[in-house]
Amino acid sequence: MQYYSLNGQSPNTSFKDAVIRGIAPDRGLYFPMEIPQLEPEFFENIETLSTEEIAYRAISPFVGDAIPEAELRKIVSEVLDFDFPVVPVDGNLSTLELFHGPTLAFKDVGARFMARCLGYFSKDQDQEVTVLVATSGDTGGAVANGFLGVPGVKVVILYPSGKVSDIQERQLTTLGQNITALEVNGTFDDCQDMVKSAFLDTDITGKRQLTSANSINVARWLPQMFYFLLAYKQTKALGKELVFSVPSGNFGNICAGMMAHRLGMPVHHFVAATNANQVVPDFMATGQYEPKPSVATISNAMDVGDPSNFIRIRKIYGNDFDRLKGHLSSSSFSDDATREAMADVQKRTGYTMDPHGAVGYLGLKKYMEDHPDKLGIFLETAHPIKFLDVMESVFDFEIALPENIKTLMDKQKEFIKIASYADLKVFLMG
Ligand SMILES: *Cc1c(COP(=O)(O)O)cnc(C)c1O
């Protein structure tokens, strides 16, 4: 499979090169030259296929011959070694729980897949690769965990000071080894801008091979297709058409779901649920795409004012607004509405949603009002415990700390403070 840049100014390249570069030299996102099709029998017999088989068959056309079959099978089975259950919550609304991985958020699968691909590729590279990544909350921990100890790879994580939760900060600042955390005096958008500038800075790129582990990297983005396929496998016997509601920030996860749909998976509709950062809901209403500065919310991993992957979603539907509208709805919800939904669902059903999942729930509920015969699935993208302060403000009961989080609480946070791009440059040149 070859990849091209959506900015159209860079040469086409292989999966390997797209993963190592992260972003094309013209700053465009890489996109596959063709969208492969899975055989109808794959979907007809999906309940008889193992997790590894489903994942391997979905991802292998995108990887091509960059990784041999046995190695790729090993990678997907290691990456998917925990559960992704679909759990009924409220009438015809179920949730797909994506938080059973090591850092308790859905980014574990993409981060671990990318780390293993890069680990495989760096075996025959002379130069060390530096993974430079901005996080609004959960990416940092997932990337740190996925890349910890991978030979030939250094990881530098930028996170906005005071805007990630305590557990999120601990997950990315306590590992040491090949992982360095930079605390940025600014917002997530500032972190993301600094990362983008570093990629364009030839002083830095002349010295270090940089790559990105944000969902702009195809090896982070594409494996997220697995979630949707595994949800389809679990619910197919119910014989209902599926609606997926995805709590969205940078729009990588939902974009992967849409890609799974394009591979041939039957899906009735997608809902992109956002917090107050409502660039996409506004776009779906007006057809005008206007990036805005991000605003801080209680679903902080979705505080994104200019979602990187939205351009890929438009591309998947041939940049045709009406066609896109046939597959995607989008709505935005306030923090108050999110808290209310968390309290209401917990009281009526006993199910505890985290703030991100709750935004997904709200988007789904709204859509399902007019589509009661469908099966709605919202993605629970993080374990509620990651947002302890929010949980404590909504619920009057304590949420037990999982074991791996308990040990985190005793570890020393280590980070370097930076305030500007110049500081980042000094660090990367040093
Ligand atoms: C990253 C994240 C999101 C947003 O996912 P995107 O792929 O950026 O849209 C939603 N929820 C949680 C908990 C996250 O960590």
Give me the tens of pLDDT residue by residue for the chain, a chain 430 residues long.
999 999 999 999 999 999 998 889 898 999 999 999 999 999 999 999 999 999 999 999 999 999 999 999 999 999 999 999 999 999 999 999 999 999 999 999 999 999 999 999 988 778 899 999 999 888 999 999 999 999 999 999 999 999 888 889 999 999 999 999 999 999 888 998 999 899 889 999 999 999 888 888 999 999 999 999 999 999 999 999 999 999 999 999 999 999 999 999 999 999 999 999 999 999 999 999 999 998 999 999 999 999 999 999 999 999 999 999 999 999 999 999 999 999 999 999 999 999 999 999 999 999 999 999 999 999 999 999 888 889 999 998 888 888 878 888 889 999 999 999 999 999 999 8
What spacing in Å lies between the alpha carbon of 34 and ligand 1's midpoint? 26
302 lines ligand 1 (CB under 6 A): yes
* Angle between helix 69-79 and 51-63 (nearest 10): 130
Helix (H) or strand (E) holding 30: strand 30-32
Question: What is the position in ligand 1's atom list of the atom closest to the CA of 356?
Answer: 11
Nearest CA to ligand 1 atom 8: 250
CA atoms within 13 A on the CB side of 50: 8
Segment 190-213, tens digit of pLDDT? 998 999 899 889 999 999 999 888
Expressed in angstroms and rounded, the spacing between residue 181 Cα and the centre of ligand 1 is: 20
Closest C-alpha residue for ligand 1 atom 14: 301
Q: Report yes or no: 178 and 154 within 8 Å, Cβ to Cβ.
A: yes
Distances in Å between the Cα of 97 and the Cα atoms of 35, 83, 89, 112, 415 are 27, 8, 11, 18, 31
245 in ligand 1 pocket by Cβ < 6 Å?
no
Q: Is 215 in the pocket of ligand 1 (CB under 6 A)?
A: yes
First and final C-alpha spacing in the chain: 37
Is residue 386 a contact partner of residue 168, using CB atoms and an 8 Å limit? Answer: yes
Pocket test for ligand 1, best of 222, 302, 359, 383 (most atoms within 8 A of CB): 302
Interatomic CA distance for residues 90 and 72, integer angstroms: 38
Question: Which residue type occupies 330?
Answer: S
Residue-wise burial string across 19-29, b where 16 or more C-beta atoms lie within 10 A, e elsewhere: bbbbbbeeebb
Does the beta carbon of 250 sit less than 6 angstroms from any atom of ligand 1? yes
Residue pair 61/36 in contact (Cβ under 8 Å)? The answer is yes
Cβ count within 10 A of residue 33: 9
**What is the amino acid identity at position 195?**
V
Q: Which pair of tokens denotes residue 156?
A: 């530098």
pLDDT of residue 225: 98
Yes or no: say if 361 and 245 are a contact pair by the CB < 8 Å rule.
yes
Q: Are 216 and 23 contacting, i.e. CB atoms less than 8 angstroms apart?
A: yes
Q: Which helix (H) or strand (E) holds 181?
A: strand 179-184
Radius of gyration of the chain, Cα coordinates, nearest whole angstrom: 20
Report the residue count for the chain. 430
Asked if residue 249 has its Cβ within 6 Å of ligand 1, the reply is yes
Instruction: Please state the atom number of ligand 1 nearest to the C-alpha of residue 247.
Output: 10
- The verdict on the CB of residue 107 being under 6 Å from ligand 1 is yes
247 C-beta closer than 6 A to ligand 1: yes
Cβ–ligand 1 contact at 103 (below 6 Å):
no
Q: Which of 172, 356, 378, 380 to mutate to test the pocket of ligand 1 (most atoms within 8 A of CB)?
A: 356
Residue 274, classed as helix, strand or coil, is strand
Give the pLDDT score at 154: 95
Residue 188: per-residue pLDDT: 86
At residue 165, the pLDDT reads 86
- Alpha-carbon distance of 365 to 245, in angstroms, equals 9
Does the Cβ of 269 fall within 6 Å of ligand 1? no
Q: Which atom of ligand 1 has the smallest separation from the CA of 304?
A: 8
Residue 184's nearest CA partner among 175, 173, 176, 174 is 173
Question: What's residue 191's pLDDT?
Answer: 93
Beta strands in 50-138 (DSSP E): 86-90, 93-97, 129-134
Q: Would you say the CB of residue 405 lies under 6 angstroms from ligand 1?
A: no
pLDDT of residue 403: 81
Q: Choose the residue to mutate in 250, 259, 328, 391 for probing ligand 1, maximizing ligand atoms within 8 Å of C-beta.
A: 250
Which structure tokens are listed for 178?
Answer: 């090949």
Torsion angle (degrees, nearest 10) of CA 146, 167, 273, 189: -80
Q: Between the CA of residue 30 and those of 1, 58, 191, 199, what are the distances in Å?
A: 12, 18, 21, 15
Answer yes or no: is the C-beta of 359 below 6 A from any ligand 1 atom. no
E-strand ranges in 248-389 read: 269-274, 328-332, 375-380
Strand 209-212: give its sheet, edge to edge: 209-212, 129-134, 153-160, 179-184, 416-418
Instruction: Report the atom number in ligand 1 closest to the C-alpha of 382.
Output: 13
Q: Kindly list the structural domains of the chain, giving each domain's residue range(s) and its CATH number in brackets, ordered by start.
A: 82-104+220-401 (3.40.50.1100)
Whole-angstrom distance, CA of residue 392 vs CA of residue 369: 30
Angle formed at CA 293 by CA 355 and CA 185, multiple of 5 degrees: 85
User: Is residue 368 exposed (0-12), middle (13-18) or buried (19+ Cβ within 10 Å)?
Assistant: buried
Looking only at the bridges linking them, the beta strands covering 375-380 and 242-247 are parallel
User: Which residue's alpha carbon is at the smallest distance from atom 15 of ligand 1?
Assistant: 138
300 Cβ below 6 A of ligand 1:
no
